[in-house]
Structure formats: C-alpha cells, structure tokens
Amino acid sequence: MTTFWPKLQSCALLAACVCADLDAAHAGVVAVAGRVLPGTCAVKSGGDTFEVSLPRVDADRLRAAGDEAAHTAWFVDLECAAAGGQVALGFESPTHHDPATGDLAPQGPNAAANLRLALYDAAGNRKRFDGSVHPGQYLPVIAGPIRLQYLLVYRALGRVSPGRADANATFVIVHI
C-alpha cells in the first residue's frame, strides 16, 4: 500500500497540470525568423586560451573612480575562409562580470578592492563582458588573416587597495 499513494499523487498532479493548461487563454503568436551562417572565420593564434599578463602597478595610480593604468595590448588572429559579412568577438564572464560597469571583477581571497579590468577594442570602444557586440565593433570579413586588437586596463571604482587582479572570461566569434 505504501507505493500506491505516491503513484496516485503523481497521477493527480499530472492531471491537474494538463487541465490547468486547457484553461489557459490564447494570447498571441511568436514568429521566429533566423538564418544559420557558415563559420567563415576561426581562431588562428593562441588556440582557444589567451593569457594576458598586466604589469604590476602601484595602488596610488588608481586613487579615484575612472582612473586607469597599465594599458596592455593583446590581439586575436583569425583566419577567414571567404570574404563577405562582418566579424567581431563577443566576451562574457557570468561569474566575474560586473553588471554595473560591464568590466571584469577580480576574484579570489586576495583580490584588490575597488578594481575592475576594462577592455577596449582597437577603435577605443569599451567592450562589455556580457556577450554583447555593439554596432561599430565589427570588421569586414576578408579571405585570409584578420587581426583583432584589444587593450586590457586596470580601472578604479574608487581608491583601489593592493591585491590580486585575477579573472577570466570566454569569447565567441560573431558573424553578421
């Protein structure tokens, strides 16, 4: 008898769910339109992991909100099979992303306080670590190599306390 009641309860719950769905009112339609593009570009340099080492910096250089230091250049080389369309990289970090600034927040027990890691593309556009790519951040796709250049910098939210600035993010190649 002990196994009968859980089965009966499960059946009653399932019936309630099905009946509840029948009482729902029709509210509208979602029409989806899309297109799947061929992956025309692939990462050529560095594989799928890039390590950017920012130099050590004195905390006195990061005293006020907006102060930046240690502009460190790095790049991603893509190899594109065919010309056409546009390409960019989208960066994201669900665990290290600061939603207020879009920057990376250092992690770990010895992380510097009031510090973020900001990313700029070669045109000086600030990139967010939320996966978004904004108009103006795409490059035309040409057959052959494309170099995407970036600057990673320390950015103060206020007076920065000494500590580590370790974080990580992922990137995706975005074609339009």
Are 102 and 153 a contacting pair, CB within 8 Å? no
Sheet holding 68-80, edge to edge: 41-43, 68-80, 144-156, 115-121, 126-127
Measured between alpha carbons, how far is residue 151 from residues 8, 75, 110, 144, 155 in Å? 62, 9, 24, 23, 12
CATH no., domain 41-175 = 2.60.40.1090
Kindly state the average pLDDT of the residues 93-102: 86
Lowest mean pLDDT among 22-36, 100-114, 148-162: 22-36
Portion of the chain with pLDDT greater than 90, in percent: 31
Lowest mean pLDDT among 13-27, 61-75, 86-100, 157-171: 13-27
Domain coordinates in residue numbering, the chain: 41-175
pLDDT beyond 80 at 164: yes
Are 91 and 171 a contacting pair, CB within 8 Å? yes
Q: Which residue has the higher pLDDT, 144 or 64?
A: 64
pLDDT score of 163: 95
Kindly state the average pLDDT of the residues 74-89: 84
Q: What is the spatial distance between Cα 4 and Cα 102, in angstroms, rounded to a whole number?
A: 54
Q: What is the pTM of this model?
A: 0.72
